[in-house]
Structure 1
Amino acid sequence: MIPPFIDTHHHLWDLENNPYPWLVEPIDHFVGDYSAIRKSWLVSDLHEGAKNVPLIKSVHVQAEWDHNLDPVDETIWLQSVADDPGSRGMPNAIIGFADLSDPDVEATLERHADNANWRGIRHMLNWSDDKVNFRFAGSGGLMSDSQWREGFKLIGKFNGSFDLQIWPWQLEEAARLGNDIPEVPIILNHTAMPIGRSPGELREWRKGLESLGEAPNVSAKISALGMLDQTWDAESIAPFVLDIIDILGVDRCMFGSNFPVDSLFSDYETVWKAYDEITCDFTDSERAKLFCTNAEKYYCI
């Protein structure tokens, strides 16, 4: 039976009222055709998807609100959603966007922090020198850039954490960031996105996780494995789930759905049944951490 859980990674978007350019005009995305999610997905849709599973809290991660506009407006909207009695308090945590390279980012962070459910920032850093559709950042090497690092440090001033989204080949750079600036909690997104499945690529993923795990401020979300294996089932994703738990430890891992993006590849209930099946041999205490209490700890909810 699926234990009570916190969904540590989902999105909401209201396309009639809010600006998400990538959902209005399609882009060349590594997942391929995502037309099925180019429609509003609201907290009521989250509740509908979870109607047969024990979802108790949720974490909303920034969904690429138009970067030419004020990113704090997304957080303000999400706070209004959470404050509505019909939302059941969700999202309980809000991870907003800020360009950490911006010399004036402190003012943006301060305004994010004015919202009760704000908990941190995601500035997507995925970069590939070879594949343009693997680039979600403006440039590579931001984690080593001095100006970007100054912005990163400021997250700690507002008691926030950083949601880290990168490819496996960027994990070594992320490890240096974590060790150099341990005062800012880092929450790794999407199982470190193991998109390559050759033996060498899997070794790179595991080695990178081992390096990142040496940083004292790192935890990780197991999520988006469907986005990386579009014909997935519990058996195919189990090695990734079990490996990251083995490398980082039960105390530093938690589960997320990545909905509605991963709704392209399965329904909501199926994702959580898979996590339940994969961890069926874990103790009740270990499962409680993975499904719930680690998220309460790392997202302060």
Structure 2
Amino acid sequence: MTSIDAHVHLWDPDLHDHAWLRSAGELQRPFHLGDFTAAAGTATAVAVQAGRTVDEARWLLGLAARSQRLAGVVVSVDLAGPAVVDTIDALRAEDGGSTMVGLRDPVGAGEGARLGRARVRRSLAALGERGLAVDLLLGQGTLREAYAAARDLPQVRFVVDHAAISAVDVRREGLSEWAAQLTPLGRLPNVVCKLSGLGKATAEPGGVRLDDVVRVALDVFGPRRLMFGSDWPVSTQWSPYEDVAGATARVLGELTADEAAAVWGGTAIGAYGLDLPDTPAIDRMTMIQQGEH
């Protein structure tokens, strides 16, 4: 089975402006598919749009249409925008549009209430009807509203990015508070979770242990509703790619083969409706799991 990295970013500052990259040090350069291949071997990726423009979305969809290494694209949207559904429909009708598998509208700290707005709910419902998953990138204090949205829209598939580790100040409040707030989401059958973007929370002084974070996520969601994502290249600020995959693999080594296969690819295939070639591949993550590195 081909391992799937369900959270990868590709960007080119020469083509599309990313204001946050201007102060991002070594990340302020192009990161293309070839760079990901060099880091991850033959793993298949789901690309999550890092910027917000329609032009960048078209660029990513075009890349995915031309390469089997990209299983799909999660496009950035403004769910509160008046024309969001029309914009998505237009993109899906263009070249490469069939590679769109999901949408993401970052919900920052203090913005959780927007998930309850009528316009946002209508957008979520309409996009869910189109078979698109909705990624939730949640800031502090947003888990309650995220739960309410997912509960009220059971027909929509929601994907919790980065295990919502930034929705709680885990260094101050502890993993137990994060687990308590995350658990209601974990009880909803239309919600899955990404083991991604955990580098900052686990690498900073006074941070939490990656093993503990993964075990909590396993307890809350179960292995069949978890998926691996590296958050590459953002993750390289704290760890090389092989360290991110390897640290996750050590904890997942406690699972059965079927359970681990779900985290390494099966959950992503189901949540995003990915259409992958049947050709098996051995990639770096598989090698790490097998202890062959």
TM surpasses 0.5: yes
Letter in 1 for 2:3: F
Q: Say which is worse superposed, 258-267 or 160-169, in terms of deviation.
A: 160-169
Tell me which residue corresponds to 2:35: 45
Distance in 2 between residues matched to 1:298 and 1:264, nearest whole Å: 28
* TM-superposed deviation, 1:119: 0.8
In structure 2, the residue matched to 1:164 is: 136
Report the Cα distance in structure 1 between the residues aligned to 2:89 and 2:40, rounded to whole angstroms. Answer: 33
Quote the Cα distance in structure 1 between the aligned partners of 2:227 and 2:102.
Answer: 17
User: Are the equivalent residues in 2 in contact too, given 1:169–1:204 (CA < 8 A)?
Assistant: no
1:198 deviation in Å? 4.5
CA contact (8 A) 1:161 1:186 kept: yes
Report the CA distance shift for 1:4/1:92 in structure 2 as closer, same or farther (over 3 A).
closer
Identity percentage of aligned residues: 28
- 1:2-81 equivalent positions in 2, closer than 5 A: 4-23=2-21, 25-26=22-23, 34-51=24-41, 55=43, 57-65=44-52, 71-81=53-63
- The 3-state SS of whatever aligns with 2:69 is coil
Q: Matches of 1:197 and 1:227 in 2, distance apart?
A: 11
CA distance in 1: counterparts of 2:170 and 2:76, whole angstroms: 30
* Distance in structure 2 (CA, Å) of the matches to 1:160 and 1:43: 23
Matching residue of 1:154: 126
Given that 2:65 and 2:99 are in contact with CA atoms closer than 8 Å, whether structure 1 keeps it comes out as: no
What is the alpha-carbon distance in structure 1 between the residues aligned to residue 14 and residue 82 of structure 2?
Answer: 32
Structure 2 match to 1:101: 80
**Is 1:118 paired with 2:100?**
yes
- What are the superposed Cα offsets for residues 47-101 of structure 1, whole Å, 9 maximum, x if unpaired? 00013xx51x211111023xxxxx33222211221233xx4x1321100011111
Task: Please show how residues 214-233 of structure 1 align to structure 2 within 5 Å.
Answer: 214-231=187-204
* Contact 1:210 1:247 (8 Å CA) reproduced: yes
The number of residues matched between the two structures is 268
- Whether the 8 Å CA contact 1:175–1:214 is kept in 2: the answer is no
Unaligned 5+ residue runs, structure 2? 275-293
Deviation of 1:113 after TM superposition, in Å, equals: 2.4
Structure 1 residue 273 corresponds to structure 2 residue 246: yes
Residue 140 of structure 1 deviates from its aligned partner by 4.7
- Kindly tell me: are residues 278 and 82 of structure 1, through their superposed partners in 2, closer, same or farther at Cα, counting changes over 3 Å? same
Deviation at 1:169, TM superposition (A): 2.8
Q: Distance in 2 between matches of 1:111 and 1:163?
A: 20
Counterpart among 203, 214, 233 of residue 241 in structure 1 = 214
For the Cα contact (< 8 Å) 1:161–1:187, is it kept in 2? yes
* 1:175/1:213 contact within 8 Å kept: no
C-alpha contact (below 8 Å) 1:179/1:216 kept by paired residues = no
| Offset of residue 181 of structure 1 | 1.0
- Alpha-carbon shift at residue 215 of structure 1 (Å): 2.2
SS at match of 1:116: helix
Q: Which deviations, in whole Å up to 9, do the C-alpha atoms of 1:182-236 show, x marking residues without a partner?
A: 111100000112462347342321112111122221000011110223359xx92
Q: Which amino acid aligns with 1:59?
A: V
Cα distance in 1 between the residues matched to 2:104 and 2:78:
9
Corresponding residue for residue 71 of structure 2: 92
**Could you say which structure has the higher helix fraction?**
2
Mapped partners of 2:65, 2:147: distance in 1: 37
Paired letter, 2:157: P
Distance of 2:50 and 2:122 partners within structure 1: 24
* Paired letter, 2:13: L
- Aligned-pair CA distance for 1:277: 0.9
Structure 1 residue aligned with 2:152: 180
- RMSD of the TM alignment (CA)? 1.9
